[in-house]
Structure 1
Amino acid sequence: MSLAEKVYLKLREVPRGKVTTYKWLAEVAGSKGYRLVGQILKRNPDAPRTPCHRVVSSNGKIGGFGGERSGKRIEEKIRMLEQEGVEVEKGVIDLEQYGFDFKE
């Protein structure tokens, strides 16, 4: 199984109302390539079934979405997360409250 396939498979485990980080997702997929995970998600062939909007930076910041780091796509990511019950405060998510690190 390729790294991309592992990333997409594991990402599908993240439930509504939770987020994971590029780092956690890379680790659970067996990689240290956190940035590579971002590149893989940019090419997500199965959105929204594979919910790449639920992946954020390790510091809780929104990160990118669909290859963008600002603009309408980021606003769309925030809106999607808020519709799932995730609170976004000044572009940051509280990972203590909303983080899903695959150990749950």
Structure 2
Amino acid sequence: MSIVEGFSLGIFGRALNGRESGPNFKPEGYLATLIHLLDRAVSAEYRSTVLAAFQDVEDNAALLHWLDLEVAHEDAAVTASQHTLDIANNLYSISTGRARTAISTS
């Protein structure tokens, strides 16, 4: 058994002379670890991106809810203001003798 037997260059050693020779740096193990770490980093970034997207959707859904309530309040305020204006115009018309419509209590 020679001093280099038992060491390997993996596919590189086999490509050179058909048999394994040279030191064993185990590139497969290093690459597997590197791939695993890169996969974890990419997965963590993807998870972070997805969670941020869900948070944005939740925030915007809540915002739409509050804006819908605000629109309803604004519509009610416009209706009440219009009713007040109609009453004021009718009272003015009655006081000047030019009544247009009867004052409603609705």
TM-score by length of 2: 0.15
**Larger Rg, first or second structure (1 or 2):** 2
Highest relative contact order (Cα 8 Å, sep 6+), 1 or 2?
A: 1
Q: Which has the higher helix share?
A: 2
